């Protein structure tokens, strides 16, 4: 009679495999990126040859909805290649696991508990209840808003490029904007549309709606009244308005006299440019001015906005706006001598605060290591290196022109930052750490800090 698997593992001193949702999702996403890179290297996808590292760089950037590219996507790739990039953006923005679960449902099969656990992890939900319903809502809303936006953009694109190219460009940019990817099919990104109200409003509204997060959008659709929304949704809405308004006014004041950005524009175009640049750093990556000509103060403000990022469960990256607000609330409570952190007459649990602190700490450590390595491999001004690194980690895609000049090692570091920024550094840390619940509590002792 054969021994039980448990005894066999004990004899070999090997622990049985335990299901690790964060690690599985990370590996699944990595496989998706590799597949995209292989497709982009096919002759049918290219107008002219590119290196393997550049193909995988673009695939990583598209799948992580970043937007950084060492080559111009509009002139480097054929319509097949551009379609591959668009699919990578769509799947990367909504989640590889979301598409996998939808495929299982369309085949008429039942979604298993393990698959529900994966969806819970991917969508950052507190429980597996309602996860499948959220997936259906996610796809329905995304398709609806992207189709509507593409129709609006077609009013500008079709007269410029004709029906075929105009419709394709409209769909591509609608998908790219809603998923906060920042990929544009024009050599100057969207600089040619700096004063165009239709392009500015459509793209920014897509960026904002995609950056809210699907949990907030579902909450708005079902409850509709602001007072009935969850605390998370209210924080995201109010926080987004405050940060965006601050960023718009700050960019306008900082860059007003800069001839390389706003200074050379007319009064109306100045306002549109400041408005667009105030919103796009929230992980979108589109630009209507040249960031290479921006002042140091403007670059530092943009770096700060890129690090904060969009909302949890959104198509954007960064540490997330809610994480930043929780950290501010914790600091305010400490300075006021309060024992508990409160936001909008609600007490924030210690676990949420600890998670926010861990996210910021791990993210900053990752950025410090990356900046150190990039300063060794790249011959460029340090502010340009910092900007590029934070843009990659925040999955933003804005650049001061450094991407195409990166060394092979520099590209690999930026690719890792894009991957970590999308998957989440804390998620990867959880994947490889052994988490145990200890029942022992040791005596307290103070440590001098500050």
Asked which of 127-141, 278-292, 421-435 is least confident by mean pLDDT, the reply is: 421-435
> 134-172 pLDDT, tens per residue?
677 777 888 899 999 999 999 999 999 999 999 999 999
Does 304 or 442 have the greater pLDDT score? Answer: 304
- Residue 438: which pLDDT band, with cuts at 50, 70 and 90? low
Mean pLDDT, residues 89-98: 76
| Three-state DSSP state, 274 | helix
Which pair of tokens denotes residue 198?
Answer: 């239709």
Asked which of 9-23, 69-83, 288-302, 349-363 is least confident by mean pLDDT, the reply is: 9-23
Mean pLDDT, residues 372-401: 94
Contacts for 304 with CB less than 8 Å, ≥ 6 apart: none
Residue showing tokens 């996507």: 73
Mean pLDDT, residues 183-204: 94
Which pair of tokens denotes residue 263?
Answer: 């200074």
Angle at 381 between CA 378 and CA 387, to 5 degrees: 85
Average pLDDT score, the chain: 84
- Looking at residue 305, what is its pLDDT? 94
Backbone phi and psi for residue 214, each to the nearest 5 degrees, phi listed first? -65, -25
Asked which of 50-59, 97-106, 397-406 is least confident by mean pLDDT, the reply is: 97-106
Mean pLDDT, residues 186-195: 93
Q: Answer yes or no: is pLDDT of 97 > 60.
A: no
Q: Answer yes or no: is pLDDT of 101 > 90.
A: no
Contact 423, 409 (CB under 8 A): no
Mean pLDDT, residues 422-438: 60
- Looking at residue 220, what is its pLDDT? 83
Q: Rounded CA gap, 445 and 450, in Å?
A: 16
Q: Answer yes or no: is pLDDT of 208 > 60.
A: yes
Residue showing tokens 């070999």: 12
CA 165 to chain centroid:
28
Q: Rounded CA gap, 106 and 340, in Å?
A: 47
Q: Answer yes or no: is pLDDT of 291 > 50.
A: yes
Contact 368, 398 (CB under 8 A): no
- Residue 13: which pLDDT band, with cuts at 50, 70 and 90? very low
Asked which of 287-291, 323-327, 344-348 is least confident by mean pLDDT, the reply is: 344-348
Comparing CA positions, the residue from 72, 6, 7, 63 lying closest to residue 37 is 63
- Residue 184: which pLDDT band, with cuts at 50, 70 and 90? very high
Does 359 or 22 have the greater pLDDT score? Answer: 359
Comparing CA positions, the residue from 190, 421, 187 lying closest to residue 306 is 421
- Looking at residue 10, what is its pLDDT? 45
| Three-state DSSP state, 107 | coil
> 238-259 pLDDT, tens per residue?
999 999 999 999 999 999 999 9
Q: Rounded CA gap, 429 and 353, in Å?
A: 17
- Looking at residue 46, what is its pLDDT? 95
- Looking at residue 310, what is its pLDDT? 83
Q: Answer yes or no: is pLDDT of 8 > 70.
A: no
Let me know how long the chain is: 450
Q: Answer yes or no: is pLDDT of 312 > 80.
A: no
Mean pLDDT, residues 310-317: 75
Q: Answer yes or no: is pLDDT of 216 > 90.
A: no
Helix (H) or strand (E) holding 343: strand 341-343
pTM: 0.87
Helix (H) or strand (E) holding 347: strand 346-348
Count of other CB atoms within 10 angstroms of residue 443: 4
């Amino acid at each position: 009679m054969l021994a039980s698997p448990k005894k066999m593992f004990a004899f070999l001193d090997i622990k049985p495999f335990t299901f690790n949702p964060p690690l599985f999702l990370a590996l699944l996403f990595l496989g998706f990126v590799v597949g995209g890179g292989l497709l982009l290297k096919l002759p049918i996808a290219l107008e002219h040859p590119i290196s393997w590292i550049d193909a995988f760089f673009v695939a990583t950037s598209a799948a992580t909805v970043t937007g950084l590219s060492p080559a111009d996507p509009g002139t480097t790739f054929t319509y097949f290649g551009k379609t591959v990039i668009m699919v990578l953006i769509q799947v990367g923005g909504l989640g590889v696991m979301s598409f996998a679960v939808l495929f299982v449902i369309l085949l008429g099969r039942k979604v298993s508990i393990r698959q529900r656990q994966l969806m819970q992890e991917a969508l950052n939900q507190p429980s597996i209840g309602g996860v499948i319903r959220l997936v259906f809502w996610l796809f329905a809303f995304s398709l609806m808003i992207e189709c509507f936006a593409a129709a609006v953009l077609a009013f500008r694109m079709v007269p410029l490029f004709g029906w075929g190219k105009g419709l394709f460009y409209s769909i591509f940019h609608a998908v790219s904007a809603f998923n906060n990817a920042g990929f544009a099919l024009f050599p100057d990104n969207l600089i040619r549309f700096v004063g165009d109200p239709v392009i500015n409003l459509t793209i920014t509204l897509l960026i904002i709606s995609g950056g809210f997060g699907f949990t907030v959008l579902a909450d708005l659709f079902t409850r509709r009244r602001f007072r009935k929304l969850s605390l998370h949704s209210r924080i995201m809405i109010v926080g987004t308005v405050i940060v965006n308004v601050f960023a718009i006014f700050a960019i306008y004041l900082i860059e007003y006299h800069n001839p390389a950005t706003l200074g050379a524009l007319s009064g109306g175009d100045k306002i549109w440019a400041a408005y667009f640049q105030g919103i796009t750093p929230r992980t979108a990556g589109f630009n209507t001015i040249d960031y290479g000509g921006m002042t140091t103060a403007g670059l530092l403000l943009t770096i700060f906005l890129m690090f904060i990022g969009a909302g949890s469960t959104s198509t954007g990256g960064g540490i997330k706006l809610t994480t930043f607000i929780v950290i501010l609330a914790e600091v305010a409570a400490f300075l006021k001598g309060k024992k508990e952190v409160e936001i909008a007459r609600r007490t924030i649990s210690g676990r949420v605060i600890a998670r926010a602190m861990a996210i910021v700490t791990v993210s900053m450590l990752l950025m410090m290591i990356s900046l150190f390595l990039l300063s060794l491999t790249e011959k460029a001004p340090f502010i340009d290196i910092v900007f590029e690194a934070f843009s990659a980690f925040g999955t933003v895609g804005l650049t001061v022109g450094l991407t195409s000049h990166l060394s092979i090692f520099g590209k690999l570091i930026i690719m890792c930052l894009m991957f970590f920024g999308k998957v989440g550094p804390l998620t990867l840390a959880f994947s490889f750490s052994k988490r145990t619940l200890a029942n022992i509590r040791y005596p307290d002792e103070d440590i001098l800090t500050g």
